[in-house]
């Protein structure tokens, strides 16, 4: 458990300081804006989806370390994946941070497993899931999502 905690800190710091896939995305055909009023995190998620696959994913906006790191990890996690897998990752991450695992079929979360560390900070769960909700809203054609 302490290993996970250490890794969690390390990955969160790394991804919040140097977010991957940060900035606008030219040619994005799916975009949504997410807002977490509890913390003030606000992100737009941009996706290029072709033939049922997420070809590219980027995000922009601002938020706390956890929301930024989670958004960064999210874009890395879904890039190149079929939409069904992006949805499965959403379910898996949501279960992981809330402690209510999605019913099987589960999905291999890989590096995203470290987000389990968020469970120690219940008030930050909405920070960690914001980008994921936003990504899902974009895929479902919703332009805005709030974690309230
Ligand atoms: Zn936050």
pTM of the model as a whole: 0.93
Q: Are 49 and 55 in contact (CB under 8 A)?
A: yes
Give 84-141 as a DSSP string.
HHHHHHHHHHHHHHHT-PPPSSP---GGGGGGGGGGG-GGGHHHHHHHHHHHHHHHTT
What pLDDT, in 10s, does the model give residues 101-148? 766 556 888 889 899 899 888 899 999 999 999 999 999 999 889 887
Gyration radius of the chain's alpha carbons? 14
User: Ligand 1 centroid vs 70 CA: distance in angstroms?
Assistant: 10
User: Ligand 1 centroid vs 56 CA: distance in angstroms?
Assistant: 24
User: Ligand 1 centroid vs 40 CA: distance in angstroms?
Assistant: 6
- Mean pLDDT of the 62-83 span: 97
- Mean pLDDT of the 22-31 span: 97
Spatial CA neighbour of 131 closest among 97, 82, 84, 81: 97
Q: Are strands 144-146 and 30-36 parallel, antiparallel or unpaired?
A: parallel
Q: Which residues surround ligand 1, an ion (CB under 5 A)?
A: 39, 41, 64, 67, 127
Residue 100 has pLDDT above 90, yes or no: no
Largest CA distance in the chain: 43
Alpha carbon distance 133, 83 (integer Å): 14
Q: Give me the chain's average pLDDT, please.
A: 92
| HSE (side-chain half, CA atoms, 13 Å) at 96 | 23
User: Ligand 1 centroid vs 49 CA: distance in angstroms?
Assistant: 27
Alpha carbon distance 89, 78 (integer Å): 8
Strand partners, 134: none
Query: What is the pLDDT, as a whole number, of residue 5?
Result: 81
Higher local confidence (pLDDT), 4 or 40: 40
Query: What is the pLDDT, as a whole number, of residue 126?
Result: 96
Query: What is the pLDDT, as a whole number, of residue 120?
Result: 85
Q: Are 43 and 33 in contact (CB under 8 A)?
A: yes
User: Ligand 1 centroid vs 101 CA: distance in angstroms?
Assistant: 22
User: Ligand 1 centroid vs 28 CA: distance in angstroms?
Assistant: 25
């Amino acid at each position: 458990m302490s290993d996970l905690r250490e890794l969690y800190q390390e990955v969160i710091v790394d991804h919040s300081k140097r977010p991957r896939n940060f900035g606008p995305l030219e040619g994005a055909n799916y975009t949504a804006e997410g807002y977490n009023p509890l913390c003030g995190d606000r992100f737009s998620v941009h996706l290029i989806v072709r033939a049922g696959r997420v070809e590219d994913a980027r995000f922009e906006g601002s938020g706390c370390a956890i929301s930024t790191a989670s958004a960064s990890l999210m874009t890395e996690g879904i890039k190149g994946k079929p939409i069904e897998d992006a949805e499965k990752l959403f379910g898996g991450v949501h279960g992981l941070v809330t402690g209510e695992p999605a019913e099987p079929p589960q999905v291999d979360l890989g590096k995203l497993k470290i987000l389990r560390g968020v469970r120690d900070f219940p008030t930050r769960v909405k920070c960690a899931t914001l980008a994921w909700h936003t990504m899902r809203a974009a895929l479902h054609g919703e332009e805005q999502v709030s974690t309230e």
